[in-house]
Amino acid sequence: MKSTLTHKALESIGLTENEALLYQIMIDHPQASVRDLQSLAPFPRTQLYHILEGLKSHGLVTSAKERARTRYIAEDPEMLNDLIRKQEQSFAANTNAMRALIPELKNQYRSAQVGGHLKTFVGVEKYRLAYEDILKTKPQTVYTFVHTGATPLPGVDIRNDIRAKMRAHNIQEIQTNNVHMEHIELHLYAGNILYTSTNDAEPVATRIEDTYLYTMQRNIFDIVTKNV
């Protein structure tokens, strides 16, 4: 149990799992050759060299030539204090960076909460998809500022088809033509604003998901319809 705790503690200050294991072994055998370590540690020779280099980079192991053999020497565990200090400095730097980032993340989160998502649908197929969202959302009521221009807006057949399906799904539509809407037709439903505009002969729909903007438009719709 003590060995496991030591192992985890060593990993927490920047050693890899293998480095922590080998360093623990070397504490009990402060001076050893690679051959010695092969008999003590569960690592092949090539991997041992790699792990030893890692421990040397941490300042926990040094090496010394003795005749034709290299001996690896475990440094005093006091050297771990240097690693702890480095870890503390790194943590402090990361903490400060994170704290500086929090206001930006909060603004991003707030923007996502209040909406502001806009998508444009160009062409017959995408235009139909935009209007089918009304059926998928299944609002109780759709509030429509009706197009009042002399020239019909593109996509009229699709809108008529969607209206028929809305009736079949018991979705009510309340319309007003009390506002001059020459180039667009605008629908309000379930926090969404969907409007048709002209783009040559192609139907174009734009959908905005914005709770505040939707509420403002609904208030305008209510005022307009009360004054009819």
Question: DSSP string covering 128-145, please?
Answer: HHHHHHHHHH--SEEEEE
Q: In the prediction, which pLDDT does 82 show?
A: 85
Sheet holding 172-176, edge to edge: 115-122, 202-210, 192-199, 184-189, 141-145, 172-176
Of 13, 47, 1, nearest to 22 (Cα)? 47
* Each residue's pLDDT tens digit, 16-73: 889 888 888 888 888 888 888 888 889 999 999 999 998 898 888 888 887 778 888 8
| pLDDT score for 139 | 93
pLDDT of residue 107: 58
The pLDDT of residue 88 is above 80: yes
Contact indicator for 154, 203 with CB cutoff of 8 Å: yes
Q: Residue 143's pLDDT is what?
A: 94
pLDDT at 9: 83
Compute the average pLDDT of residues 166-182.
87
What is the architecture of the domain spanning 2-82?
Orthogonal Bundle (1.10)
CATH number for the domain formed by residue range(s) 115-226: 3.30.870.10
Mean pLDDT of 89-113: 68
Helices (H) and strands (E) in the chain, counts: 8, 9
Report pLDDT for 106.
64
Phi then psi for residue 130, to 5 deg, are -60, -45
**Residue 160, class by beta-carbon neighbours within 10 Å (0-12 exposed, 13-18 middle, 19+ buried)?**
exposed
pLDDT exceeds cutoff 90 at 79 = no
pTM value is: 0.49
Does residue 1 surpass a pLDDT of 50? no
Q: For 176-203, how does the pLDDT look when each residue is reduced to its tens digit (9 = 90+)? A: 887 777 778 899 999 999 988 765 667 8
% of the chain surpassing 90 pLDDT: 19
Average pLDDT score over the chain: 83
More confident residue, 108 or 159: 159
Q: Please check the confidence at residue 4 and state whether its pLDDT lies above 90.
A: no
State yes or no: pLDDT of 146 exceeds 60: yes
pLDDT, mean of residues 139-143: 94
Coil, helix or strand at residue 80: helix
Give me the residue spans of the domains in the chain: 2-82, 115-226
